[in-house]
Amino acid sequence: MSKFLKGTFILLVAGFITRVLGFIYRIVLARSIGEEGVGLYMMAYPTFILVVTIIQLGLPVAISKNIAEAEAKGNYAEIKKILVVSLAITVGLSIVLTPALILLAPALSSTLFTDQRTYYPLIAIAPAMPIIAVASVLRGYFQGRQNMRPSAISQILEQFVRITLIATATKTFLPYGVEYAAAAAMGASVLGELLSLIYLLTTFKLKKRFKLRKNFFQFVHKGKRTFKELMEIALPTMGSRMIGSISWFFEPIVVAHSLALAGVLAVNATKQYGALTGYAMPLLMLPSFVTFSLATSLVPAISEANSKNNHKLIEYRLQQALRFVFLTGGLAVIILYVLADPLMQLMYGSTKGAYFIRLMSPFMLVYYYQGPLQAVLQALNLARAAMLNSLIGSVVKTAVIFLLASQATFGITGAALGIVVGFVLVTGLHFATVLKKVSFSFYAWEYFRGFLVMGLSGWLGYYLFEHFLLQEHLIIRVITSALAMVVSYIVMLVLFRLIKKEELKRIPWFGNLIPS
């Protein structure tokens, strides 16, 4: 089995486990500190994401790409130089930004967030900065060597620690005030990051091929060319993430003002936006762990092939990734579309977000392509083009949200349509940019068969759910319908030759069960 397939599979399993643990964490958090505490936590969280984006500086992707190229040439001196320069950058930024965040926390809590209680969660974030600085470099190193196991295990450890500590930590500090409980929740996340870093450092020391601390500053001084090469990828990558973060920051503001123009009361606007982004979007984004896994594996795999000018391998890897996204994303889309109402009812005790799931789920298949395509662009030194595509998508999304949501006939539906237009546009631009660099064949007949399989499996699931005998047992109906869709989908993929027997045999562990 190739490193690409093995690494992707490891990240897929870890991504699935991490997403499930993340859902459990949200439930425990909400039940531990209530709506008010979650509000304080979520007000501080975008600041955390923004500071992390600045500290990482887009380096994990650049490290992964450049180390893959250096290892393909057997240049271990260059690998050490990449690590040394990257650590100097990220640790240096964390040393500057950590005290800056502590000093600015009072002003941020009283002005930007208009709730001074956010001061405590903001302070609780600060210790995570140097931890994330080192951990992000180590993850990029392992990914560049196409060893995805350390990154995968570290993510699972992080989530496990957060869930283990959250209930105890929040219960301990809740009597002092909900703001202290929210800060304790942040503290649990910091401890999760710390254990993750300890594991990564231990794994690195056991498997390294050179002494990192030896002549550290000499390598920093000689790393001007390495620094430039890293920044050529890192800065546009960070630009794409910054665009996403800023767009995320402005989105609720634009929606609120647009709905006000449409005559929607502020309280109702908040509830509607909550149903869209708090109920529907997390479920719609859940299958994206597949695309994240593929994107992480694709950067070093494509970079290695590109360094050898192996254009056939680049197209083969891309075809593999997009085909896998189509088949797995198709299954996710039909399950979400058919079972939107019961899933919302089981998870949140309300069906308010079901409408948005049915509206947006058919387009999510396009969104799932976005991660792998962006990874290919980064691996082919087209990170700047990816950043420009993201910028165009964010601007158009915001404009469409304002134009549609401000009309009474659309309302909050206009916001959902704006989000859809944004990611469809970005995916389309990414695909067009990739086509300029990579020769690519489009197999229309395969896609037609794939959509036919989706339709038939979706119809079977809907029929079973509506006509199943145990009507009073909602969870049994949902499980039966979902299993029927999964089994029928896989069987039809094999019958329609969208999945071949030899491909199933490549799947770790599962492949051994298939007879020759």
> Which residues lie closer than 8 Å to 108 by C-beta, 6 or more apart?
47, 118, 119, 122
Over residues 33-61, the mean pLDDT reads 76
Q: Are 390 and 244 in contact (CB under 8 A)?
A: yes
Give 405-421 pLDDT, tens digit per residue. Answer: 888 888 888 989 999 99
Residue 361 structure tokens = 């789920």
Give 146-178 pLDDT, tens digit per residue. Answer: 777 888 888 888 888 888 888 788 888 888 888
Over residues 235-241, the mean pLDDT reads 77
SS3 of the chain: helix, strand, coil, percent, to 5: 85, 0, 15
Over residues 464-486, the mean pLDDT reads 84
Mean pLDDT of the chain: 82
Element holding 332 (H helix, E strand) = helix 311-338
Burial group, residue 310, by CB count within 10 angstroms (0-12, 13-18, 19+): middle
Q: Strand, coil or helix: what is 443?
A: coil
Query: Could you count the other beta carbons within 10 Å of the beta carbon of residue 156?
Result: 17
Residue 479 structure tokens = 């499980």
Between CA 311 and CA 379 the distance in angstroms is 13
Tokens 């599962």 sit at which residue?
510
Give 11-20 pLDDT, tens digit per residue. Answer: 777 777 887 7
Give 107-154 pLDDT, tens digit per residue. Answer: 877 776 556 787 888 898 889 899 998 999 998 888 888 777 888 888
Asked whether the CA dihedral 305, 308, 310, 311 is positive or negative, the reply is positive
Q: Given a cut of 80, is residue 36 above it in pLDDT?
A: no
Cα atoms in the 13 Å half-sphere on the side-chain side of 19: 18
Q: What is the pLDDT of residue 334?
A: 95
- Which is more confidently placed, 181 or 4? 181
Q: Which amino acid is it at 7? A: G
CA distances from 331 to 80, 338, 403 (A): 43, 11, 33
Between CA 31 and CA 108 the distance in angstroms is 27
The whole model's pTM is what? 0.71
Give 53-112 pLDDT, tens digit per residue. Answer: 888 888 888 888 888 888 877 777 788 888 888 888 899 999 999 999 899 888 877 776
Q: Are 340 and 413 in contact (CB under 8 A)?
A: no
Numbers of helices and strands, H then E, in the chain: 20, 0
Give 326-335 pLDDT, tens digit per residue. Answer: 999 999 999 9
Give 376-391 pLDDT, tens digit per residue. Answer: 888 888 878 888 998 8
Q: What is the pLDDT of residue 45?
A: 75
Q: Are 415 and 405 in contact (CB under 8 A)?
A: yes
Q: Given a cut of 60, is residue 266 above it in pLDDT?
A: no
